[in-house]
Structure 1
Amino acid sequence: MKNSTLTAAFVAGSMAFGATAQADILDVHMNIPKDLTFLADSAKLMDETLRNMSGGDSGFQLYGAGELVPAGEILENVSSGAIPAGWSFLGQWGGQVPVAQIGATPFGAGPEALAAWLHVGGGLEIVQRGFDPLNIKIMACHVTNPEPGGWFNKEINSVEDFNGLKMRMSGVGARVLNEFGASAQYLPAGEIYLALERGRIDATEFSLPIIDKDLGFNQIAKYYYYPGWHQPGSADILMINMDVWNGMSETEQAMYEAACQVSLQWTLAYAPSAQIPQIEEFEAGGTIVKTFPDEVLAELRVVTERVLNAEAEKDPLYGEAYRSMKDFVASSGRWTALQTLPAE
């Protein structure tokens, strides 16, 4: 079992909080507003944990999307050393680093399985190899629970309803929808509401209900569809310029690993119970919550498999990651099935 991360967390947890730090306070540039519910909170928690461990010597100075660096330019700036670190959705960088697409796999790993594969199943080591040429160290410190299928202003009764639909969606899911005639593309969080309001897009997905509320989608879209076939689990990462990372002491690196685990476990624990009250609030305000028809999900699954297999053939490292994750999920899934109790 690959447990270097957990070992580092144990070592750091046993150290005195007054340990000397080398890198001091790290400037971290985010791809989202720094006050965004849940998605930004995990970065703030990691900052707090680092400061507590180090007696205030280590931590983050967080910058929201666009404060100093546009959200879409974080990767290249961390790579060049223009900025020391960034915090973003892993899948955002799939165009530049194909293996990053594994950060959200349609019909793929759920949050617990994704976190386990990344940290004890060898997943993070595979993904890291895609970032090594860019001189970037990555840490998977946040996993988001399954997201809703999206906000729409028309009902989705068959896959034909995706034809001509302009939708904000990122990653592999966007390519799957485009196979059905949609025009799906990535938009940063801060641009989605205005695009939906002005008709540049007809529909959107973004994140969990508690986060979608902050962005106001319920004010301009009528239907809220489930399940989130495109993103059953997704990873956000801390990216650190490798020269900065290598300049840290072993003590500080261990503290970073441990603080990352604290944030990761918080994201897994916090998200599930917070969503239903928010969905009920949406419904009270007039939102219509619906589920995609089984036939639609079945056709989406078929096309997803074709798109993922094509990507695996095109990029060997992505293919290695995809096969590794599928094998890990199948193995852990059997264990879960064996231990599942019958419903009352």
Structure 2
Amino acid sequence: MDRRSFMTKAALGGAAGTVALAAPAVAQSNPKINWRVTSSFPKALDTIYGAAETMAKYVAEMTEGNLTLQVFPAGELVPGLEAADAVSAGTVESCHTASYYFWGKDPTYALGTCVPFGLNYRQMNAWLYYGGGIDLLNEFFHTQNLHYLPCGNTGVQMGGWYRKEINSAADLQGLKMRIGGFAGKIIEKLGVVPQQIAGGDIYPSLEKGTIDAAEWVGPYDDEKLGFYKVAPYYYYPGWWEGAPVLSTLVNLDKWNELPANYQQVIATACEAANSNMMASYDWKNPAALRSLVANGAQLRPMPQDVLSAAYDASQEVYAEVSATNETFKKILESQNAFKRDAYLWAQIAEYNFDVFMMGQQQAGKL
């Protein structure tokens, strides 16, 4: 007797009742659900915007199309800088964004992306996935009617495009700069006038001289936006974004309504998209940087006095915010505790290996 014949006969016998009850249970655990995901990014920025599409693709594949997430570019459903508000209010089920865009509501939002002189990419992932970071952040995000999941990272970013050279901290006085997130509050202490401008509006603002400088991401995305044509000086590193996490924020009520297996599917898809996005940037940025330099971009290291002044200013701001915001303080202290240990390890093997290999690259031996 073959297996199919045996199973059919068993179903018709004493086990028939069990089989009849099992089918509806399976159907209930894999219901048809369609969600919308509003992005804070334009579709033209394929790597950042693409992380949400990658996540949605994984979700659809893992649920055989029963759970579908349709991604919309910034502005199609709601403006990019209003994405979290729309999700919290239930207007849209989910968004893909950088949570630090909303730090004005509460500085704690920034810690879900990054803060100046924070963790690097590998450290951030270690803290999120093994250091209890996701749970700590969700203690806060749940109070905003949101559920937080990491879903992408650019790695350390560049320090932006400047119409004039920056030779010392004194050159920052009165500088009008487009800068995202919590960094604007810190760079104000250096005399900069921060501007929060959406990605698509940065180029015309630089071109017209409405702003003097702008940061975005790094070579691959920056080349697409053409900043080198109107602001030739390209500084590094972006001390305010050592590892900016992109996140999927889900309306908390909608999240709680999901079957547990669907929650796990989305979390797994977000984690996979997080890794995928970083790999994509690491592959694309070298060629983009060569292209930018060939087209006139002038690379400049950020002056050391600027870095030192910015670091000191960041510590002042963190102390000020922590004095009145216990949640911010709790999460920041958790990140800092891990950062101290992480750099003890990083400077031993990884750093020395990378420095040696960089020397071989510079000597033309690779």
TM-score, length basis structure 1: 0.90
Aligned residue identity for 1:82: T
Q: Deviations over 1:27-64 (max 9, x none)?
A: 00011113412111111111111111111122321111
CA deviations over 1:273-295 (Å, ceiling 9, x no partner) = 42122111011011101101222
The yes-or-no answer on 1:299 pairing with 2:309 is yes
Structure 1 residues 119-167: Cα deviation after superposition (integer angstroms, max 9, x where no partner): 2211222221222122111111112201100100111011111111110
Choose the corresponding residue for 2:121, options 106, 111, 117. 111
- TM-fit CA distance, 1:23: 5.8
Q: Which residue of 1 aligns with 2:52?
A: 43
The amino acid that maps onto 2:86 is N
Residue 14 of structure 2 corresponds to which residue in structure 1?
none
What's the counterpart of residue 247 of structure 1? Answer: 257
Instruction: Specify the alignment match of 1:54 in structure 2.
Output: 63
1:205 matched to which residue of 2? 215
Q: Is the 8 A contact 1:143 1:234 kept in 2?
A: yes
Corresponding position of 1:89: 98
Task: Supply the AA of the counterpart residue of 1:71.
Answer: G
The equivalent of 1:337 in structure 2 is 347
**1:192 Cα deviation after fit:** 1.2
Q: Secondary structure at the match of 1:72?
A: helix
Q: Quote the offset at 1:339 in angstroms.
A: 3.1
Distance 2:336 2:45 in 1: 32
Amino acid of the residue matched to residue 94 of structure 2? A
Change (3 A) 1:37 1:19: farther
- SS of 1:300 mapped into structure 2: helix
Q: Secondary structure at the match of 2:71?
A: strand
AA aligned to 1:123 is G
Q: Which amino acid aligns with 1:61?
A: Q
SS at match of 1:179: helix
Question: In structure 2, which of residues 249, 252, 267 is the aligned counterpart of residue 257 of structure 1?
Answer: 267
Identity level (%): 28
- Kindly indicate whether the alpha-carbon contact (under 8 Å) linking 1:167 and 1:204 is maintained by their aligned counterparts in 2: yes
Q: How many residues of Structure 1 are paired with residues of Structure 2 in the alignment?
A: 327
Three-state SS of the structure 2 residue aligned to 1:154 is coil
Confirm or deny: 8 A CA contact 2:54 2:273 kept in the other structure: yes
Structure 2 vs 1, CA of residues 159 and 19 (structure 1 numbering), >3 Å: closer, same or farther?
A: farther
Q: Which amino acid aligns with 2:347?
A: A
Moved more, 262-271 or 57-66: 262-271
Residue 116 of structure 1 aligns with an amino acid whose one-letter code is A
Distance 2:302 2:79 in 1: 35
- Match for 2:215: what amino acid? E
CA RMSD of aligned residues (A): 1.7
Aligned to 1:267: 277
Aligned letter for 2:253? D
SS of equivalent residue, structure 2 residue 47? coil
- Rounded to whole Å, the distance in 2 between the matches of 1:202 and 1:338 is 40
Counterparts of 2:189 and 2:344, CA distance in 1: 32
The structure with the largest alpha-carbon Rg is 2
Matched, 1:191 2:211: no
Please name the residue that 1:148 is paired with.
Answer: 158
1:164 and 1:330 map into 2 onto residues whose CA distance is: 34
Whether contact under 8 Å (1:50, 1:256) holds in the other structure is yes
Q: Which residue number in structure 1 is paired with residue 294 of structure 2?
A: 284
Answer yes or no: is 1:129 the counterpart of 2:139: yes
Matched-pair contact (CA < 8 Å) for 1:20–1:54:
no
Contact 1:21–1:248 (8 Å) recurs in 2: no
TM-superposition CA deviations, 1:210-236 (whole Å, max 9, x none): 111222212211100001111111111
Pairwise CA distance, 1:82? 1.3
- 2:8 matched residue in structure 1: none
Distance 1:191 1:144 in 2: 21
State the AA in 2 paired with 1:31.
Answer: S
Give the whole-Å Cα distance in 2 for the aligned partners of 1:40 and 1:149: 21
Contact 1:162 1:177 (C-alpha < 8 Å) held by counterparts: no
Distance in 2 (CA, whole Å) between partners of 1:44 and 1:313 is 40
* CA–CA separation in structure 1 for the residues paired with 2:155 and 2:307: 19
- d(CA) in 2 for partners of 1:88, 1:167: 21
- Select between 44-53 and 94-103 the one with higher mean Cα deviation: 94-103
How far apart, CA to CA, are the structure 1 residues paired with 2:28 and 2:44?
30
Taking the aligned partners of 1:134 and 1:163, their CA distance within structure 2 comes to 36
Paired residue secondary structure (2:347): helix
| Cα distance in 1, alignment partners of residues 106 and 310 from structure 2 | 25
Structure 1's 136 and 288: CA in aligned 2 closer, same or farther, altered over 3 A?
same
CA offsets per residue over residues 250-288 of structure 1, 9 Å max, x none? 111111111111111112333224212211101101110
CA distance in 2, matches of 1:23, 1:177: 48
What letter corresponds to residue 57 of structure 2 in structure 1?
Answer: E
Moved more, 223-232 or 55-64: 55-64
> Which fold has the larger relative contact order, with Cα–Cα distance below 8 Å and residues 6 or more apart in sequence?
1
Normalising by the residue count of structure 2, what TM-score does the alignment of the two structures yield? 0.85
| C-alpha deviation, 1:105, in angstroms | 1.5
- Richer in helix (by share): 2
Following the alignment from structure 2 to structure 1, what is the Cα–Cα distance between the partners of residues 31 and 174? 53
Q: Report how far residue 324 of structure 1 moved.
A: 0.3
Query: Per-residue deviation at 1:314?
Result: 2.3
**Residue 77 (structure 1) aligned with residue 77 (structure 2):** no
1:323 aligns with 333
